[in-house]
Amino acid sequence: MPSVYTIIAYWSWVLIFLFWLPGHFTAKKTIERPNPIGRTVAMIFIIAGFFFLFSNPRNATILLTPQTTGFGIIGLVIDLASAAFAIWARLTIGSNWANVVSLKEGHELVQSGPYAIVRHPIYTGFLFAALGTALTIGSLYAYLGVIVLLVGMLIRIRDEDALMAKQFPAEHPVYRARVKRLVPFIW
């Protein structure tokens, strides 16, 4: 039986989904989707990562962190703050958002809000929310999900950075030099 912290963390993902759903209908028209192999591989890793995070097979009893109130609260705080950060990023990017790496008609290089803190704040939010969820669960399986998600997102980041550098040859290198990829001031 999942803890109350894990249940709340799961519901934060439902909230994220509810903010993402309208984006499929309000995004600008896609004009370019490079690297179909990279897109597919990244999506396989991302789906597998969420599978590991949200499924808890009966034989996955190895706990990396105990299911205590302290870890539950810390995990939930990380999860909720990160979910809010991802939602803020999604609202900031607006109609430039794409569910797959692509270039939109009239695409803009968004550098405000959370995009002034990290270049890929949606991925930052997702990864740290996944880490918070994993903390509430505690299992090796959940932490494996975070690692697999990271791999998938790094593939997408590579492709997105290449596409933005191509589309914004003057602005993107300056932005890339000024703002870290996923973790503010670090990486």
Q: Which amino acid is at 92?
A: T
Q: What is the dihedral sign for C-alpha 122, 128, 134, 135? A: negative
pTM of model > 0.85: yes
Which top CATH class is 4-178?
mainly alpha
User: pLDDT (tens digit, 9 = 90+) per residue, 56-109?
Assistant: 766 667 888 888 999 999 999 999 999 999 999 999 998 888 777 777 888 899
CA atoms of 77 and 39, how far apart (whole Å): 31
Half-sphere exposure of 181 (CA within 13 A, CB side): 13
Q: How many CB atoms lie within 10 A of CB 13?
A: 18
- Of the two residues 2 and 161, the one the predictor is more confident about is 161
For the chain, the 3-state helix, strand and coil shares in percent, each to the nearest 5, are: 65, 5, 30
Domain ranges of the chain: 4-178
Q: Give the C-alpha separation, 138 to 163, whole Å.
A: 37
Q: How is 106-124 classified by DSSP, letter by letter?
A: T-----SGGGGT-S-HHHH
Instruction: Give the contacts of 37 (CB within 8 A, at least 6 positions apart).
Output: none
**Each residue of 138-158: pLDDT tens digit?**
999 999 999 999 999 999 999
Q: Does 133 or 2 have the greater pLDDT score?
A: 133
